[in-house]
Amino acid sequence: MGDEDPFGAYLRLGHELRAHMEAILPPGWSWPGQRVLDFGCGTGKVLCHFADEANEAEFWGCDIDRPSIEWVQRNMCPPFRAFECREGASLPQPDGYFDLIFAWSVYTHITDRWAEWLLEHHRVLADDGLLLASFIGEGMVEHLTSEEWCEDRIGMNILNEGNPWDCGGPTVIHSPWWLRAHWGRAFEILDLWPSVSPPRRPTADDAPTPTHGMILLRRKPVRLTVRDLTRLEPDEPREISSLQHSVRQLRHQAAELRRQNAHLGGQLQAAHTDLTQRIGEIAELTQQVRMAEQNLRTAEEDLGRYRASLEAIQGSTSWRVTAPARAAKQHVKRLRT
């Protein structure tokens, strides 16, 4: 959210995203009476800007991240409604429930289960219901991969597979042709913007900005399976060229991870050697301390014995009988000096 003013960034970005959303929704769209789902709502950054509308419409949020959803439930419900969902594509609502589902920066992270989720969204959308999703495309690819944008090389390319969610999760990059081909089987593509800043329809003069793209889709009355959505588009050579590039990207990432692994392995080895040396030093010091303790114990035992002998001498009859002679001797010594 930005280090300087995270709360300010939370409000500003959410406000901007609402503006982007309203810029792409069909003319005449209005909120009252609609049932809307913010899929992958996180901490409600976008949702919170619909507080007024939520009195006249149903605004739901869901996310797999329990702390985020608990926060939304504590702080924003009502008027909003929020529930936790799982990575498996299943929502609790009946068929045809929602009029609009929006997913900001969520399909940009869903790797293996994208087709299941798309079909689940298709199921819970009303006839003619809308799905609005952001995607990582032309605007951000250079920023993310240091590669120039090239549609031949991008279909649905996955990077950073297995990256923990705290570090941003995996990244999915989409090309418009691929979205049209695959998502277009279940949805009519109403609009597609390669990047979304400023919040208005891009013109031919607009250079892509380093932002997500947006795709607006309308549910088609079809019944499809995961296989239907994932099969390669016939007569589309970019399916193969993008898969080839995806393999190159993954090989590059694997090599990079191996390099980092080797580097970390070297550091680990050095730390191990250092630790072994320190353990040796500590063992030596421990041995010295033990010997010093033993010497101290011996000295204390000797001292005890000397004290006992002294007390025995001082208590003896001969010591007491010779006491005046010793005192006289001391006296003479003092006189002489």
Ligand X SMILES: C[S@@+](CC[C@H](N)C(=O)[O-])C[C@H]1O[C@@H](n2cnc3c(N)ncnc32)[C@H](O)[C@@H]1O
Binding site for ligand X (CB under 6 A): 40-42, 45-46, 62-65, 68, 85, 87, 104-106, 109-110
* Residue 57 or 172 with smaller CB distance to ligand X: 172
In angstroms, what is the minimal distance from the CB of 59 to ligand X? 13
- List Cβ neighbours of 206 (8 Å cut-off, separation of 6 or more): none
- How many other C-beta atoms can be found within 10 angstroms of the C-beta atom of residue 167? 7
Cα–Cα distances (Å) from 256 to 55, 141, 260, in that order, read: 51, 19, 6
In angstroms, what is the minimal distance from the CB of 16 to ligand X? 10
In angstroms, what is the minimal distance from the CB of 191 to ligand X? 19
* Residue 106 or 216 with smaller CB distance to ligand X: 106
* Residue 106 or 196 with smaller CB distance to ligand X: 106
Element (H, E) at 193: strand 187-193
- The residue written with tokens 């594509």 in the block is 89
Cα–Cα distances (Å) from 301 to 289, 296, 308, 309, 326, in that order, read: 18, 9, 11, 13, 30
- DSSP conformational letter for 233: P
In angstroms, what is the minimal distance from the CB of 49 to ligand X? 11
* Residue 153 or 174 with smaller CB distance to ligand X: 174
In angstroms, what is the minimal distance from the CB of 88 to ligand X? 8
Expressed in angstroms, the distance from the first to the final Cα of the chain is: 93
* Residue 85 or 177 with smaller CB distance to ligand X: 85
- The residue written with tokens 């500003």 in the block is 12
In angstroms, what is the minimal distance from the CB of 219 to ligand X? 19
* Residue 42 or 129 with smaller CB distance to ligand X: 42
Residue type, 208: P
Determine the Cα angle at 63 with ends 184 and 28, to 5°.
50
